[in-house]
Structure 1
């Protein structure tokens, strides 16, 4: 028996959902180059990966049960000066999401996520000769309750502290490391430091030789010369074997 009940009317989106900052706010016209089969080309409307990063942020917020990001970019925010706190997170939106949410609770509006190198610029520092200041023209700011907003800043907002996904293997590692290089504000690391920390051999050498800490017995085969390692390595627990040519070294490897 068919039900005679009238179909329920379509749900009216809430104001927050209506103001959701979708990909169009990041890359206007990103759907204009849509392929005939409905697939959006990966690099036609999102050359710097901002749209994909923004979508990952929305997915992460949804998984945490938090509201989507609002698009407030049409009304630029003004009035930021050198005394205003701006903690800038460069790169991946998911790696630092807990930090962004906690920072938004403790200091609303001070945490700003930069998803694209086009959202920031480097200018010579006025206070530290030879250093650079990082200025943000756009970013996602976080507030109490997990609320976030895509905002533009006029004039650009100066960062007081900078960190981000600096690891070499990260997709954003290249531009993040470049923006965070030689800044006049404190940073949460650097690309060279991240490279060193992710190198097990170099890390063990530093811990054993400089900190006098025990490390697991290590036998390392290194191809060619490495400028970050001393020519004569004398580190307790670490033996380094240099291979000048990968061909014909089987006997040496077996001997060691």
Structure 2
């Protein structure tokens, strides 16, 4: 899954595709084509930064950022379009514009989000986050992070099923870096097989995360080697989708994981 941040303030690439107060569609189309050519089978379009300390955007602003991009890419690129949003109106508009997946860091907990997602008929990805982007990294604490995240995801799956969303249309994301310390992130990475036992595909986003800076002291521009190692570790532990900024390099790394798995099954 390649990342397309249509924001001025995302932690890694904010502003690259959003200039002069609007989405730069030429740059977005170029980036999307390059990501698909490099091996992305999904493109994740986000109009609200959820980096630590980020402030929420208005519904109108998020709609203006996201919907034109979905409209521009739908039917043009050979990839599924994922919309990284917690906003019901954005979910509905994106579905109408041709999106294929709702990827919600708040796990459909905003008022009206669960109903909007169910009405859209699209698959959903439910992510765990402790707190909100403004405060999530202030002092995250758990009794047991794996048990707590597992229980949360189980509860949100049940809420989706009660709302009429098919079990086969639900993906799960442990939420690396969203209200987690380094120790929490590592514990969740080690426990991916346990989370996979919940019975839904796992989407993992570790690309360029601050975990790498805290362990290695690397700037955002220096985090590719560690991002690739984390992608491989996640894939080996059962992750079905790897969300990445560096698509070509990540696709190559995952191809090696797939080759080894295929050889072992032969």
TM-score range relative to shorter protein: under 0.3
Larger Rg: 1
Q: Point out the structure with the larger helix share.
A: 2
What TM-score results when the alignment is normalised by the length of structure 2?
A: 0.22
Q: Point out the structure with the larger strand share.
A: 1
